[in-house]
Structure 1
Amino acid sequence: MKVKHFILVAAIFTIVSGDLNVVIAAEKPNQITIFSGRQGGSWYGMGGGLAKVFIDSGVKSSAEVGGGISNVAMVGAGKGELGFSMSIVPRMGRLGLAPFKSKVTNVKAIAQLAYSKVHVVVSKASGINSVAGLKGKKFASQPVGNVTTEAFKAVLAAHGMTEADLVLTRGGQGYGAKEMKDRRIVGYTATTSVPSPSFSDVSQSLDVKFLNVDDATFAAMKKENPGFIRDTIPAGSYRGQTKAVSTAATAMILVVNDSMPDAHAHWIAKTMSENIATLRKIHKSWGNLTVKAMAAVSGIKLHPGAAKYYKSAGAM
């Protein structure tokens, strides 16, 4: 009887253990595609680094090219599991604002990763001291659909202006810096990390001034889009910048389709948190990342599975 009882117990344990392993395995996604940024850009490298974290944790993963706005559309359409974006973008998607071709209402966040700060720089020789002073001036923004473009449009709107009020040209940060150094424009804008190589470069070549986003301007921006965050460019970030510059920021976020199973979202948040030391080494802007900061998303709701993990970890 004892032998039979032992065999029965062993058989039950084997069956239960087998089922448990299936459950545990099911908690991991089968694969993770991460829509990141342009090939050669910082986001593409971040995507590759994050993919390796997932691969090393047992899940097939890859980084694909993308952009802050297109990634939300792609994840919303179920074309991939994760996408990098910025905190001002989800609202644009929910409302179907250009350049979105239709509303995207089915994305949530897994984590917030870093801040990008609105930089509006002009040459001191231009005599411009405020955003209003840009009216009628030659100035560079970035291509249509870029997060920088949308952030700068929000700054202008808060001053009762539009892009049409400027003599505007478009290009990346390197383009803006070159045009400014060649004196073809009075300044340019980018929403980027601090310090930014392009702004460091131009401030070494010219005497420049970074324009403040004052309290009234920020309040108007925040009212229109809750994804904006109050921030500063610390004094000494660039040559000649002796005082902190008040500005707005938008946070880098990791988005998922809200149909992702809670267990999968939980696993992703948990895996990232448990590998936070590795994440900090992927890019300088992630160097001070904490689990609490990952949980503090702006402009979008956390996926319930991710929220469950952060609560269990004491991060929220």
Structure 2
Amino acid sequence: MTLRTSRRVALAGLVALLVVTGCGRDAAENRQVRIATGSPTAVYYAIGTAFAGIVDRELPGTDASVLATAASKANMDLVARGEAEVGFAQSDVLVTGGAPAPGLVALARVYDDLLHLVVRADSPIKGLAGLKGKRVSVGATGSGTTVTVGRLLSVAGMAGTVQRRDLGLDDSIRALERGEIDAFFFSGGLPVTGIKRLATGIGIRIVDLSEWAGELRKAYSDVYVVRDVPTSAYSLPPVATIAVPNLLVVSEKMPEDLAYDLTRLLMERRGELAAAHPAAERLELRAAISTLPVPLHPGAARYYRSVKP
């Protein structure tokens, strides 16, 4: 082999090594952003899927994906264990005794979840007390719905008085249609697609729960407020119910730059998120920073300071 040939072989080998090394580095630097949401028909899932697409498209070296879960409580646990980077969660699930869950911080307040108590249009159930002895779905295990409903029944002195079913939204809808339950609870942003379909199907009513918001605030947390379910949501008479803020949470260990970028995309692309579900139309700067008592991630706080008028 001549000296010139030897040099060409060595150069080719070096180029190949650099290519392989570079590919390996790119693969190693790809970040995972797993977004814990809810069931495939839930608001969380629709907005989370749209957000994952935005992150995948606009953050180089980042692989975003969606995890279908039982919702808030499961999402909080996944983020706390490092099995998801981002999760949607009701703020009442994140707060116990007035203190936020350790290790978790917020990127934004996204919208408010409204607690729906759904019955058939011809049901004799007119208020919470009417559930005594009835077959009632209180939400899927691991959902924020079960937390809120458990507290609601407790302050109303009704713990243990219903025939409890632990069903997610889809199973609750099917069970009500089949006459297998008398009522179901679901906490979600307006409008909840499955409930909207049900309203045009078998015919339903949403029961007023607003009188219990004050009791929940006194017993548990001041995150509980009263909100109206307007006629525009389900083409039903307006009704007041209990609402709780919904937050996008991450680990306090998330790198600041990543938290900044996720918050930036959440706000800059909120029109795209609203196209995925109308609940995201409520996402705006002034409300987004209202996450207390759950603190903002420093990266999220830096973004909000950068765009403050």
TM range (shorter): 0.7 to 0.9
- Asked if the contact 2:94–2:294 (Cα under 8 Å) also holds between the matched residues in 1, the reply is yes
Residue deviations 1:144-193 (CA, integer Å, cap 9, x gap): 2221111222221221111x201122322233233323333322111123
State yes or no: 1:279 paired with 2:276: no
Provide the aligned C-alpha RMSD in A.
2.8
- Aligned with 1:158 (options 142, 155, 175): 155
Structure 2 counterparts to residues 103-142 of structure 1, below 5 A = 104-142=101-139
Structure-1-length-normalised TM-score: 0.76
State yes or no: 1:222 paired with 2:224: no
Q: Using the alignment, how far apart are the partners of 1:230 and 1:58 within structure 2?
A: 42
Residue deviations 1:288-308 (CA, integer Å, cap 9, x gap): 422323222255221133123
Residue deviations 1:238-258 (CA, integer Å, cap 9, x gap): 34x32x211112333211111
Shift of residue 218, structure 1, vs aligned partner: 0.1
Shift of residue 61, structure 1, vs aligned partner: 2.5
Equivalent residue number for residue 31 of structure 1 = 31
Q: What SS is found at the alignment partner of 1:254?
A: strand
Relative to 1, partners in 2 of residues 1:140 and 1:75: Cα closer, same or farther, differing over 3 Å?
closer
Relative to 1, partners in 2 of residues 1:105 and 1:181: Cα closer, same or farther, differing over 3 Å?
same
State yes or no: 1:88 paired with 2:82: no
Equivalent residue number for residue 309 of structure 1 = 303
Equivalent residue number for residue 247 of structure 1 = 241
Shift of residue 313, structure 1, vs aligned partner: 1.5
State yes or no: 1:52 paired with 2:53: yes
- Aligned with 1:75 (options 74, 79, 82): 79
Residue deviations 1:252-309 (CA, integer Å, cap 9, x gap): 3211111234343233322332333333333332134223232222552211331232
Relative to 1, partners in 2 of residues 1:202 and 1:89: Cα closer, same or farther, differing over 3 Å?
same
Q: Which amino acid aligns with 2:149?
A: F
Q: Which runs of 5+ in 2 are unaligned?
A: 1-28
Structure-2-length-normalised TM-score: 0.77
Q: Which runs of 5+ in 1 are unaligned?
A: 1-28, 96-102
Shift of residue 71, structure 1, vs aligned partner: 2.3
Q: Which amino acid aligns with 1:193?
A: G
Q: Which amino acid aligns with 2:51?
A: L
Q: Using the alignment, how far apart are the partners of 1:249 and 1:148 within structure 2?
A: 11
- Asked if the contact 2:117–2:186 (Cα under 8 Å) also holds between the matched residues in 1, the reply is yes
Equivalent residue number for residue 201 of structure 1 = 197
- Asked if the contact 1:113–1:286 (Cα under 8 Å) also holds between the matched residues in 2, the reply is yes
State yes or no: 1:187 paired with 2:183: yes
Shift of residue 104, structure 1, vs aligned partner: 4.7
Q: Which amino acid aligns with 1:37?
A: T
Q: What SS is found at the alignment partner of 2:179?
A: coil
Q: Using the alignment, how far apart are the partners of 1:228 and 1:77 within structure 2?
A: 27
Q: Using the alignment, how far apart are the partners of 1:205 and 1:278 within structure 2?
A: 30
Shift of residue 136, structure 1, vs aligned partner: 1.0
- Asked if the contact 2:37–2:87 (Cα under 8 Å) also holds between the matched residues in 1, the reply is no
Relative to 1, partners in 2 of residues 1:221 and 1:275: Cα closer, same or farther, differing over 3 Å?
same
The farther-off stretch of 132-141 and 121-130 is: 121-130
Q: What SS is found at the alignment partner of 1:151?
A: helix
Q: Using the alignment, how far apart are the partners of 2:173 and 2:82 within structure 1?
A: 37
Shift of residue 105, structure 1, vs aligned partner: 0.6
- Aligned with 1:147 (options 144, 148, 167): 144
- Asked if the contact 1:90–1:299 (Cα under 8 Å) also holds between the matched residues in 2, the reply is no
The farther-off stretch of 110-119 and 124-133 is: 124-133
Q: What SS is found at the alignment partner of 2:95?
A: helix
- Asked if the contact 2:47–2:280 (Cα under 8 Å) also holds between the matched residues in 1, the reply is no
Equivalent residue number for residue 99 of structure 1 = none
Q: What SS is found at the alignment partner of 1:176?
A: helix
Identity, in percent, stands at 22
Q: What SS is found at the alignment partner of 2:234?
A: coil
